[in-house]
Amino acid sequence: MLRRTFVAGIAFAALTAGGVAYAQDAVKIGMIVPMTGPSSSTGRQQEAAVKLWLAQNGGMMAGKKVELILKDDTGNADMTKRIAQEMVVNDKVHVLLGFGLTPLALAVAPIATQAKVPQVVSAAATAIITEQSPYIVRTSFTLPQVTVPMAEWAAKNGIKKVVTLVSDYGPGIDAEKAFVERFGKDGGTVTESLRVPLRNPDFAPFLQRVKDAAPDAVFVFVPSGFGATFMKQFADRELAKAGIKLIATGDVTDDDLLNDMGDAAVGVVNSHHYSAAHGSPENKAFVEAFKKANNGMRPNFMGVGAFDGMTLIAKAFEKTKGNTDGTALVEAMKGMSWTSVRGPVTIDPQTRDIVQDVYIRKVEKVGNELFNVEFAKIDQVKDPVKAAKQ
């Protein structure tokens, strides 16, 4: 099992008052991500982002040095759970961070609750995750949050008949439901909803069914890391030539893989909360620094989720003045706002989900590279499933 521990930053002078140790204790963050297996790009992106955050902040949070314990769960939920338990009991981490897939985040929820340790979910994106523990706070997104704007855009832009095609697990089912519901309300028709197995997906037979149904568009969700395989099979089946548009969540046209997708991806309209092409000065500086520190690797939304996870944890420690009590930290995280490289964000104090701008983008060639170029923005979107209950 991969285990990397690194203590960043300068050692802080010991401060004691009344025999109680304060600021000399490190902030301990236990980070669990898939570094191997089909979702390894999530781990690679999140590790790079967290290391960049530490480098840019002198390895410190609220005047304390940060001790980061990073472990690979290989995408296996039993392993995620075992590692989380070990980190809480043996390493005595103050915060858990990461969780590259929904089942991995769900496996840790009972541990976060029992140990009263904040679980900052920086990747997984099924809506219900934050409802599984009062100690879960999310810096990634939810699938309904980014899917509803895509369905609204489709209905307004001449698309009348759609087939949905999603990975058959939590976030895919969330995306399918959100699309079917919103597109239907806006006057569109979803004629078929196809679900593809998550592991080793063969999209070909499903794409053939889409082709036979001849809709105006196919709406697709596959998780980060799977988009290139999908796009290749989409191109091979010549759906675009048959007049079927591809619309998607930005997970499909993931910045990490987009440049290798080739011309099949050009013109794909999709919705998401982060693009490496986002034009803010904060993002330009972030992309440049990220690429410089990582051999030219472009950051994607997974990297940004982890970078913001670190910002949120730091802000919480600042607010508690270094108090490491998990309940105090979660309370401090509620309602927290900051300027992310994706745009302005807030942690919804009721749901502990992130409220953020969602962008409609089109894949375009800029110079020699492919980018998700933002052309419309929906301000400060909450997870719509929970917002409806509020």
The least CB distance from residue 1 to ligand PHB, in Å, is 21
The least CB distance from residue 59 to ligand PHB, in Å, is 29
Closer by beta carbon to ligand PHB, 41 or else 283: 41
What distance in Å separates the CA atoms of residue 235 and residue 203, rounded to the nearest whole number? 11
Tokens of 228: 């290139």
The least CB distance from residue 26 to ligand PHB, in Å, is 30
The least CB distance from residue 62 to ligand PHB, in Å, is 30
What distance in Å separates the CA atoms of residue 297 and residue 181, rounded to the nearest whole number? 37
Closer by beta carbon to ligand PHB, 164 or else 324: 164
What distance in Å separates the CA atoms of residue 57 and residue 16, rounded to the nearest whole number? 24
Closer by beta carbon to ligand PHB, 102 or else 283: 102
Closer by beta carbon to ligand PHB, 274 or else 371: 274
Give the up-direction half-sphere exposure of residue 300: CA atoms within 13 A in the CB hemisphere: 24
Enter the DSSP assignment of 130. Answer: G
**What count of other Cβ atoms lies within 10 Å of the Cβ of residue 388?**
9
The least CB distance from residue 360 to ligand PHB, in Å, is 18
Q: Which residue is nearest to ligand PHB (CB)?
A: 223
Closer by beta carbon to ligand PHB, 50 or else 60: 50
* CA end-to-end distance (rounded Å), the chain: 42
What distance in Å separates the CA atoms of residue 327 and residue 230, rounded to the nearest whole number? 42
Closer by beta carbon to ligand PHB, 68 or else 101: 101
Amino acid at 351: T
What distance in Å separates the CA atoms of residue 69 and residue 60, rounded to the nearest whole number? 15
The least CB distance from residue 94 to ligand PHB, in Å, is 24
Closer by beta carbon to ligand PHB, 59 or else 171: 171
Residue labelled with tokens 């499933």:
385
Helix (H, G, I), strand (E, B) or coil at 219: strand
The least CB distance from residue 12 to ligand PHB, in Å, is 36
Residue labelled with tokens 């962008």:
359
Closer by beta carbon to ligand PHB, 26 or else 370: 370
Q: Which residues bind ligand PHB (CB under 6 A)?
A: 101-102, 124-126, 170-171, 223-224, 251
Cα angle, residue 78 at apex, residues 76 and 81 outer, rounded to 5°: 110
The least CB distance from residue 224 to ligand PHB, in Å, is 4
Cα angle, residue 170 at apex, residues 115 and 278 outer, rounded to 5°: 90
What distance in Å separates the CA atoms of residue 257 and residue 260, rounded to the nearest whole number? 6
